[in-house]
Structure 1
Amino acid sequence: MSSTATHTDDDLMTVPDVLHVLRPLSKRTFYRWRETGKAPICIRLPNGELRIHRSDFKEWLDSHREQVAA
């Protein structure tokens, strides 16, 4: 059995997971993006922690893809 985790689009990512992908993005910048509506869609759990569906994160990343001029 492999120790490599497999992910599905329904997986929930934590803020540290997102920061790891976007490194060297700081936690402060991520929360500033949330305040200004620039962050990916988040789910606030009853304990106050945030989670992001992997599919929403991928869609958010794709929406920031730059088009190359031909």
Structure 2
Amino acid sequence: MPRASAKKITVDYICKDLEISRSTFYDWRAKGRAPKCTKLPNGALRVYLTDYENWLADREGAA
């Protein structure tokens, strides 16, 4: 079921937050290490904020 009311963030937001390049993000995505992304009809990617926060929490737990 879609989460239409849930806040979505951009790849640029994530890159700025983590201080990484877009190419690093896409490399992580190709390797299955990035947060779950949703592809919009125009091809742009978005990440649900809750998915991003959970992904970050999982990374902190592994460190």
Please give the TM-score of this superposition, normalised by the length of structure 2.
0.85
**Where do 5+ consecutive residues of structure 1 fail to align?**
1-9
Per the alignment, residue 15 of structure 2 pairs with 19
Aligned residues: 58
Moved over 6 A (4+): none
TM-aligned CA deviation for residue 66 of structure 1: 3.9
- Equivalents in 1 of 2:29, 2:36: separation in Å? 9
Is 2:36 the partner of 1:41? yes
RMSD of aligned Cα (Å): 1.5
**Where do 5+ consecutive residues of structure 2 fail to align?**
1-5
Task: Compare CA radii of gyration and give the structure with the larger one.
Answer: 1
* TM-aligned CA distance change 1:47 to 1:37, over 3 Å: same
Whose helix fraction is larger, Structure 1's or Structure 2's?
2
Per the alignment, residue 64 of structure 1 pairs with 59
